[in-house]
Structure 1
Amino acid sequence: MNYYMPVKVFSENNCVPVHSADLAALGSCALIVTGRSSSKKNGSLDDVKAALEAEGIGYTVFDEVEENPSVETIMKARDIGISCDADFVVGVGGGSPLDAAKAIAVMIKNADSTWELLFDSSASPENIPIAAVPTTCGTGSEVTGISVITRHDLRTKMSMAHKVFPDIALCDGKYLLGAPMRVIANTAVDALGHMIESYINSAATPFSRMFVDTGLKLWSSCRGYLSGEEKLTEKAAADLLCASTFGGMAIAHTGTSVPHGLSYTLTYEGGIPHGAAVGLFQSGYLRLADVADRSHILSLAGFESTESLARFIAKISPVQADRELLEKAAENLLRNTKKLASCPYKADREALYDIIGGVICSG
């Protein structure tokens, strides 16, 4: 067995200003990669800018990362990064800016290459340093080498072929406090999916499952906040972000499995948010798993059955998806042999249709 997760993680209140020196140690000019609005509203962008200014580090802000970032956006940011002589990247936001930051860091380092480099498994490109500042509680991208990018030419989402880990992660739960509950719920469901899919995985080991066990306990302790029965507190926000980070540590080792593979079609073709799309298939995926593993996960997450899990996810992260879209997702996944191989039980057409047949949609 082996486990590799090279990110230096700082997790505390006011994390960014406290560790400004660690941020500045990455280079002399930063390209800050973020979305259009959320990082401005929650204060994370201002914190990063102030930390860099305090250390005398120049920066340029690229704030055009869309949900499910595209190859085209990566290349636009790459060109801006090159023009401003950026020698490190700071990703600020949810999974989309963090994933984009990784791909941008590769393309800045390899300025003469085309975007195809991102998906060339025969290459071993280097990248400029990366800092990650997560502001949602779902992807765990701050501690993974994974970067999922939208390929409009193929009408789907694909993982970059190269493992690119951030050098440091600055994790502060306070950035969740002003987020819409639908964003918190959708991303928290994504984190739950990471933990379930990492535990029920052909590549699972005691190391990866250790992170799942701890992450699920934290996630379960926040269920009242996710359901809207309790108001989100600073502690709960920190616990949700920490659970997401543990989920990221788990999939850094195993990768995701069938539910994520099914979700890509729903996101690209149906415009369904990633976390909500992933959550739609968790109950069915878990229902077909080994009995002992299924019972263990349900117990830690605080559910009596896969049915109660499905109802909870449908309540906090509702999805509208028709049968045609679900079947298209299954047929598309049947062509993804790598993703199917990550499932520890036989993930054939019958199994996939069993999983999609039990989903709970809101309409």
Structure 2
Amino acid sequence: MNFQFSYGPRLISGAGAAARLGELLPAGRCLFVTDAQVRALGLADAALAGLAGAGIDTVIFDAVEADPSQATLLAAVEAGRGCASLVGFGGGSPMDVAKLAAYLLGSGDDLEQIWGLNKAIGEGLPLTLVPTTAGTGSEATAVAVITTGGTTKNAVNSPALTADWAILDAELTLGLPRHVTAATGIDAMVHAIEAYTSAHRKNPMSDVLAREALRLIAENLIRVCEAPDDREARGRMLLAAHLAGVAFANAPVAGVHALAYPLGGHFHVPHGLSNALMLPHVLGHNMHAAMPLYAELGCVIDPSLERVGTQAQAQAFVEQLVDLSVKSGLPQRLSDVGVSSEHLDLLASDAMKQERLLVNNPCPITEADARRLYEAAL
């Protein structure tokens, strides 16, 4: 059995753990990358106080937007000149910007030379990541996705982007609105599913993490939507998102993400919601190739399915996912987010640009397939 696996950053988990940031960073100035909403909600206050208490001078960069642009990334790099470390604090966007900024500041590399897989081989500045949503798993991965041009997303994927530390603090997720909780939770769920069925680098370690992540999400997603102050459930969702992040960092995601990205680029649909909208349709397309794996995941969610056959297990799995999405309160159709039939060709064409993801799908997705799947999701 031959495979390679990376565990990712060292991890601290616990309520209030973000206040310990100052213990983890080297002496010198720190660039604190976040967004304006996180600042306005006061989520960063305890972490910033901890840094100040440790005598660390902090430069705050809070201009990160959803689907961050290359201009935003380069502005963060300029803000970080002279810093000895970085913190990424927030959802996937601030963490992705922090990962790339830490690498560019430490290595001195040219951004245009490192897009793609394993082209960033230098050494970045010390980096700690603190998620405020239970979804992206960005704190666990060595990937950073940036919007280049109007709607196109490019990624840097290299072990050099892996954070030194990740902090999981459920207190930071308590105030999330229901729709954010739901969308980010389903994003993590898709990470687990696509890692488990990835055509490349799927391995026994990523499988174990993906299955546990899916189990935790299935048990806790609706609970955190309906009881948002349930700290125990919030903590389990954060852990699930992290486990799924480690899983897909090793066994990369595929067709659902490939078809989700154009929805974000053209219609500014939040990434987790884009995944939720496309998930059942892509799984249906994959069914003939991935049925045994979907059947196994169906039994993770509902062990009673072990009494029925593989096809029934796999079909029940897709139905379970749709039921979770409906109960979470998320929109279920592309038409709910502004997409109409006139956009199908554009979306399908753009999805084909996601070659790095499409190659991981259990079966091929052609442009005609993509158009059909978008049409089914209308």
Give the TM-score of the pair, scaled to structure 1. Answer: 0.90
* 2:366 equivalent among 345, 348, 351: 348
What is the aligned partner in structure 1 of residue 330 from structure 2? 317
CA apart distance, 1:191: 0.6
Q: Give 1:165-314 correspondences, 5 Å limit.
A: 165-203=162-200, 204-225=202-223, 228=226, 230-287=227-284, 288-289=286-287, 290-301=290-301, 304-314=316-326
Does structure 1 retain, via aligned residues, the 8 Å contact 2:116–2:155? Answer: no
AA in 1 matched with 2:152: T
Does structure 1 retain, via aligned residues, the 8 Å contact 2:175–2:228? Answer: no
AA in 2 matched with 1:148: V
CA apart distance, 1:51: 1.5
CA apart distance, 1:174: 1.2
* 1:144 equivalent among 135, 141, 144: 141
Q: Tell me how many residue pairs correspond in the alignment.
A: 352
Structure with the bigger percentage of helix: 2
Does structure 1 retain, via aligned residues, the 8 Å contact 2:21–2:47? Answer: no
Tell me, in whole angstroms, the C-alpha distance in 1 between the residues paired with 2:62 and 2:53.
21
What is the aligned partner in structure 2 of residue 3 from structure 1? 5
Tell me, in whole angstroms, the C-alpha distance in 1 between the residues paired with 2:18 and 2:228.
25
Does structure 2 retain, via aligned residues, the 8 Å contact 1:118–1:162? Answer: no
Label 1:232 to 1:329 Cα distance change in 2 as closer, same or farther (>3 A). farther
What is the aligned partner in structure 1 of residue 14 from structure 2? 12
Q: The residue matched to 1:159 in structure 2 has which SS?
A: strand
Label 1:74 to 1:189 Cα distance change in 2 as closer, same or farther (>3 A). same
Q: Please state if 1:66 is matched with 2:84.
A: no
Q: Please state if 1:75 is matched with 2:81.
A: no
Give the TM-score of the pair, scaled to structure 2. Answer: 0.86
What is the aligned partner in structure 2 of residue 156 from structure 1? 152
AA in 2 matched with 1:31: L
Tell me, in whole angstroms, the C-alpha distance in 2 between the residues paired with 1:9 and 1:40.
27
Quick one: percent identity of the two aligned structures? 26
- CA displacement, residues 288-342 of structure 1 (integer Å, 9 cap, x when unaligned): 2322211222333459342452354255321522234344322222243332210
AA in 2 matched with 1:64: A
Does structure 1 retain, via aligned residues, the 8 Å contact 2:174–2:231? Answer: yes
AA in 2 matched with 1:336: Q
Q: Give 1:76-91 correspondences, 5 Å limit.
A: 76-82=75-81, 85-91=82-88
Tell me, in whole angstroms, the C-alpha distance in 1 between the residues paired with 2:318 and 2:48.
45
Q: Which runs of 5+ in 2 are unaligned?
A: 303-314
Tell me, in whole angstroms, the C-alpha distance in 1 between the residues paired with 2:340 and 2:326.
15
Label 1:191 to 1:6 Cα distance change in 2 as closer, same or farther (>3 A). closer
What is the aligned partner in structure 2 of residue 107 from structure 1? 104
AA in 2 matched with 1:205: N
Label 1:345 to 1:98 Cα distance change in 2 as closer, same or farther (>3 A). same
Which deviates the most, 333-342 or 183-192? Answer: 333-342
Which deviates the most, 253-262 or 316-325? Answer: 316-325
CA apart distance, 1:152: 1.7
